[in-house]
A and B are shown apart, each in its own frame.
Chain A
Amino acid sequence: MSNHTDYVLAVEDLTVSFDGFKAVDGLNLYVEKNELRVIIGPNGAGKTTVLDLICGKTKATAGSIKFHDRELTKYPEYKIVQAGIGRKFQTPSIYENLSVLENLEISFPRGRSVWGSLVFKRTREVTDRIAEVVDMIFLAEHLYAQAGLLSHGQKQWLEIGMLLIQDPELLMLDEPVAGMSVSEREKTAELLGKISQGRSVIVIEHDMEFVQRIAHKVTVLHQGKVLAEGNMAVVQNNPKVIEVYLGH
């Protein structure tokens, strides 16, 4: 058991089994402050499941997930969010019927109780912050547009914006550039660079070029376990990693 308390996230011996199948098997993962960690691995390695476990979408069968010494495995999803963890899903998960403005407003970290949401006022503070974020996610011109009408890439940005406005300490992004054009990817890489300042970020990605650009450290997952860890160069030359990626 680790005694380190300066890790932002400490995952230890994490296991989840679905009817006997171990999607995640005794996983250990440590993320430091201001680190940008990329998790890669072949399909079915358990990457999305790890994020599911951390943000509370799936309940672990065993193991511990500590966020600044708070044990997350017994918290419901909304408490984990309120503690300071934000999650972006693989397919853009935004509120299609509401406008971009309203999407961001809902994600603003105030008025989260029933009473709070009834008396919530769109104050200067809120509108200023929304203006700030919507600029960063390249959607300033679409502030009043219905979110469902945005392009795929724009929806991804909106979701990132929704996370950003929550002001989380730990940001978790599941394939943020999936389905994006080359220019969109560039902008997203820029965006990620900006928002990782002062935050810890975990990214799941497949695009190796993208990974190389943004990663501080890379973790390779295989069959629910950590296969290799280190910076991109080290990991890319690891023979086990090569074997797993290039086939059996």
Chain B
Amino acid sequence: MDGYSLSDLWSILIMQGFSGLSLFSVLLLMALGMAIIFGQMGVINMALGEFMTIGAYAVYFFSKMAGKYFPALMPYYFIIAIIAAFVIAFLVGYAVEYLLIRHLYKRPLDTLLATWGLSLIMQQVFRSLFGAREVSAVLPDWLMGAWKPTANIDIPLNGLFVMAISIVVTALVVLFMYRSSWGLKVRATTQNRVMANAIGINTKKIDRITFAAGCGIAGIAGATFTTIASTGPTSGSLYIVDTFLVVVFGGTASLFGTIVSAFSIAQAQSILTFFMTNAMGKVVTLLTIIIILMLRPEGLFASKVRK
């Protein structure tokens, strides 16, 4: 820590903090996707990382198409790509739920294994379609550059944009969950499936849509991911364990907990990475989460309910 003045440290903190924000955005969206699926349905989708990759590849695809055929649309393709990322991931998720997941609801450990197998298959599909090497989308001009509030602080614009997307998506999810009739049905199904069925809610359809929505949100995470790194067939698998820990750490029943958890974990990792190597930063973060989970298995925000 020698050689850094106090104001230097402060600037570093802020910059790392903001670079942590991009990681936060990706983690938050992934965690939202997983929280919806796991928190509501008790199902772990180990292939969620691959749904993220779907979104990332979608952006890459649109970027190439725009570059090749519609150069005039370059500044706008990104927004379209984000929406496409959601839609494609949603549709694939819908199909997966129908073909695979719905047979395995009573067996969470088996779902874990089956979705892991799915992730392997999806990775191979990516490899066959897009090649094994990493690819990058060409980001539109208005995302390049940085915002400089002071001389020392450089905040990349794409980071801010990505964070804005995450906030918007999170807000939409909260809105849907707590203010729409679909959200009401989802919550009813979670709390008492039998009763929900009895009053005419098509719980199977709800499950399918919920699962697909979670995958779709992961797709958006993939789209935001393209602004911070390049995409390869295994890009998604790097995030899956972190995502799960974020969800569990925050308390699986609480959306607010997920947000707080994603924020703290992303920031911790980002700031630690500055002072130690990338690997050690990750190790320390993961270790701390595990230790805290061992002390408090319900996570940060959990409600006491009669079993």
Bound state CA distance, A153 and B184, in angstroms?
40
Q: Could you show 10 A-B contacts with beta carbons less than 8 Å apart?
A: A18-B304, A18-B305, A18-B306, A19-B303, A19-B304, A19-B305, A23-B306, A57-B307, A58-B306, A58-B307
Report the minimal beta-carbon distance from B248 to chain A, rounded to whole angstroms.
21
Interface string of A6-30 (1 = CB under 8 A from B): 0000000000001100010000000
Cβ-closest chain A residue relative to B303: A19
Interface string of A22-60 (1 = CB under 8 A from B): 010000000000000000000000000000000001100
Bound state CA distance, A18 and B304, in angstroms?
6
Contacts of B305 in A (CB 8 A): 18-19
Bound state CA distance, A19 and B304, in angstroms?
6
CB proximity to A under 8 Å, residues B242-268:
none
Contacts of B307 in A (CB 8 A): 57-58
Contacts of A57 in B (CB 8 A): 307
Q: B residues bordering A, Cβ < 8 Å? A: 303-307
Interface string of A56-76 (1 = CB under 8 A from B): 011000000000000000000
Contacts of A23 in B (CB 8 A): 306
Bound state CA distance, A57 and B307, in angstroms?
9
Contacts of A58 in B (CB 8 A): 306-307
Bound state CA distance, A145 and B304, in angstroms?
40
Cβ-closest chain A residue relative to B306: A18
Contacts of B303 in A (CB 8 A): 19
Bound state CA distance, A126 and B304, in angstroms?
42
Report the minimal beta-carbon distance from A56 to chain B, rounded to whole angstroms.
13
Contacts of B304 in A (CB 8 A): 18-19
Bound state CA distance, A57 and B303, in angstroms?
18
Cβ-closest chain B residue relative to A18: B306
Report the minimal beta-carbon distance from B193 to chain A, rounded to whole angstroms.
18
Bound state CA distance, A58 and B306, in angstroms?
8
Bound state CA distance, A129 and B76, in angstroms?
81
Contacts of A18 in B (CB 8 A): 304-306
Bound state CA distance, A36 and B15, in angstroms?
72
